[in-house]
Structures are given as structure tokens and as C-alpha cells.
Structure 1
Amino acid sequence: MTDFIADIKIPDSKLAAEAAELVREHADDLLWNHSNRVFLFAAMKGSLNQMKYDSELLYISSLFHDIGLTPAFRSADKRFEVDGANAARDFLKSRGVPEDSVRLVWDAVALHTTVGIVEYKETEAALMNFGVAYDVVGKNFDLIPAEMRQQVVGAFPRSRFKQQILQTFLEGFKHKPETTYGTINADICELLLPGYVRPNFCHHVLHSKWDE
């Protein structure tokens, strides 16, 4: 049976099902529920604005967007967003997905925290960024009707998401805080990582090896 939540169809193709199985294996309940809410809120935005998008690619992007935080996919030296994008790319390539679609998903995952840029990428990337911002910080909260929000949260509970998500983020990159330089993730390190000092771009400019 096909699942519909708040009038949004959960993609049920073989590719989508395999993506969901892989992500569910490695993501805890917090990240699994969050990733599904991201897809649903993103798809709602697309429907409300009558936007054309590939639901399957949006779903897979949403599922993989935080997988780089998990032990199985986190690297020693890359941004967690890139780890997730690489995982999505490897998954899609292994199943013969066309390169244009692979590139779109890679961009959507890699750029999902890059505010001010991702909004202008392909529709799927922009929609997923909307879903992430909606679920994490409540951006444009009133755009989606309360009844639809409740259906999403009923299917994929938040379970004290606000109280848990920052620590979950930190666990994904506390071993490589340098990768958060210039991103919103540096805020998390500054708040929660003992001894962390946020790098300053102005300091790098003024103390570079140039002699003037």
C-alpha cells in the first residue's frame, strides 16, 4: 500500500525503498523522524506553491541529508554535509541513476545548511532546504496549516527534538570542529564543545604571511 501523510505520497519505488532501508539502518529515531519530516514539509511547500519537482529525488535527498552525522558515514576531515552527499552519491551510482540526478542530490545534501545559496539551486535542493529550516528552526512556520503539521508530527514524532538535536549535531563533528569554520555548525561547537574557540576570518586576513 502507498502511504500518504497530509496528502503527500511517500515515494515507494524500489530506489526509494532501498534508500529508506539503508538510512533507517544507520539513523536513530531522532534523525529518521527528522529526515522524513523534512521531506514532507518540503513536499508541502512544493504543493502549496504548485512547483514541479521530482518527488523521488527530494525524498532521497531528505533521507540522506544528515546521514553524515552517523558513525557509519562520518569522515575524519570533511564537513558532515559532504559526507552525507558522498554517501547519497555512492548509493545512487551503485544503482545506475543518471549523473544529472546524482549531481542534483549531491548538491541538495551538501548545500542544505548553506543559507543564501541553496535557495537558488534546483527546485529539489531549494525545497529540501525549506524543509530543513522549517523543522529545525521553524522558519516560515505559519506557511503550513496546523492540521497538516500535526499529521506529519503524528507520523514522525519530534520527541523533544529541540532538546536533543544540537547534541546530535555535535556528536557528528566534535572530532573535526575545524570543518565547521564559516558555517552555522560553528555555533554548536561554540555552545557545546569545551575549549572550542571560533576562528575569525578577519584574524586570518590581518595575520596572513603577506608582508604589507
Structure 2
Amino acid sequence: MTINKPKAVAGIKIPDSTIANQATELLLEHGTEFLYNHSLRAFLFASLNGKQKNISYDPELLYVSSVFHDLGLTPHYSSPDKRFEVDGANAARDFLRSHGLPQQALQLVWDTIALHTTTGIAAYKEAEVALMNYGVALDVVGRGYEHLSEKHREDIIKQFPRTDFKKRIIPTFFEGFKHKTDTTYGNINADVCAFMIPNFQRKNFCDSILQSPWSE
């Protein structure tokens, strides 16, 4: 695995605390170079957005959230029956609890990871939650791309290459929850299943209403 560990990129300092470094080691141990680069880009995009909008946030908690946000896709952290975002959030909470962080910090990081794919809600939560959602969305679907300067974009991609990201990210997502496709009901991950599985039958909310056990 070839990785870069710069001290700062695009004017954003990469957290270098014991907690941050141990979190990074877990990502490198259980994740991939592809997920590492994506996670670091998401952190930098989120941080730049916070800096541009003069938003106060905790860089270390945002960094840990970034590192863990897709670890729920990996075999080590994946559960048989929970959304991958919840698996990552649970893992991060356990990790931070082992370092003695207060409950408020544990809940904040849990929410930041669990809601990072939840468009329409995350943006109205705490700063770290909103910034993580922004950073991930910028890297995955290009939301807010026009607000990222060419210089910052080049600096970040040079350190953390995209390596054919558009073609690789959908199969990467799918690999993380193909054994539990029911967890994609009601969220954007169902689109991944529909893309990857021929004739995938999504659960439908309206069908659930009409087929409920109520007699009327």
C-alpha cells in the first residue's frame, strides 16, 4: 500500500494527535489505499468548507469521523444486519470511548458518520455532521465543486489521488453491503444495488403501507 501522510494540504493541517494517528492506523489496517485517499480527501474538503464559511468545529473529531466514515464497508467492521454507516459509527464510538472521550464527543462522532449519506438532514445538524456530509458529497458526486479552487483541488489530488474513483467507488460500496441489501431500504444505497444487481427489486414504502396488517 502506497500512502502519503503530509502534515498539511491546501492550508489545512492534518491532525497528528495520538487519537488521530491510531485512527489512521486502523483505516490502513482494515481498509484500502483507495478508501484511505477518499477519506483524507473528504476531511480536507470538509475542512476547507469550514474555513471558507468561518465555521467553528473540532478538527480532531472531524478527522476521526472522516477516517471511520467508510470503515463499515470493510469485512472487519461490517455487521450482518446494520447499515454500513451505522457499523462505522459504532466502531468510531467504541474507539473514542477507549480513549476516555466524553459522551457528547462520542455522540457527535456517531452522528457525523451515521448521517454522512443523509442529504437533507445532515446539513442542519452540528458543524462536524454538516461538514462531513459536504466533504463526502464533494468527493463522490462533486457537490460544491465550483467552490473549490483549482489550486486546492490540484494540491489535494496530488497527495491523495482519485485513481479512477468514478468507476471504482460503486463496486466498493456494493462489496460492503451486498450481503445485506435490505439495509439499503429508504436510503441512497439502494441505487447502488439497483446498479449492480440485474432486476433488483427494491422495497417500496407505498407497498409497505398498503400491505400492512391493518384491516382497513
Distance 1:196 1:76 in 2: 19
The 5-angstrom pairing of residues 84-163 of structure 1 reads 84-163=88-167
Distance 1:140 1:46 in 2: 13
Equivalent residues of 1:2, 1:12 under 8 A apart: no
Q: Which stretch of the first structure deviates more once superposed, 64-73 or 195-204?
A: 195-204
Residue 30 of structure 2 corresponds to residue 26 of structure 1: yes
How far did residue 146 of structure 1 move?
A: 1.0
Give 1:71's aligned residue.
75
Q: After the TM superposition, which parts of structure 1 deviate over 3 Å for at least 4 consecutive aligned residues?
A: none
How far did residue 207 of structure 1 move?
A: 1.5
TM-score by length of 1: 0.98
Q: CA offsets per residue over residues 40-95 of structure 1, 9 Å max, x none? A: 00000000111111000000001100000001000000000000000000100011
Q: CA offsets per residue over residues 152-202 of structure 1, 9 Å max, x none? A: 010000000000000000000000000000000000001102452011110
Distance 2:186 2:170 in 1: 17
The 5-angstrom pairing of residues 146-185 of structure 1 reads 146-185=150-189
Distance 1:77 1:119 in 2: 27
Distance 2:55 2:148 in 1: 15
Number of matched residues?
212
* 1:17 match: secondary structure: helix
Residue 205 of structure 2 corresponds to residue 201 of structure 1: yes
* 1:167 match: secondary structure: helix
Amino acid at match of 1:7: G
Distance 1:114 1:50 in 2: 23
Q: CA offsets per residue over residues 94-143 of structure 1, 9 Å max, x none? A: 11111111110000000111111111111011001000000000001111
Give 2:8's aligned residue.
4
* 2:38 match: secondary structure: helix
Distance 2:197 2:105 in 1: 37
Give 2:57's aligned residue.
53
Distance 1:191 1:3 in 2: 38
Gapped runs of 5+ residues in structure 1? none
Identity %: 55
RMSD over aligned CA atoms reads: 1.1
Equivalent residues of 1:36, 1:62 under 8 A apart: yes
TM-score by length of 2: 0.96
Equivalent residues of 1:174, 1:193 under 8 A apart: no
Gapped runs of 5+ residues in structure 2? none
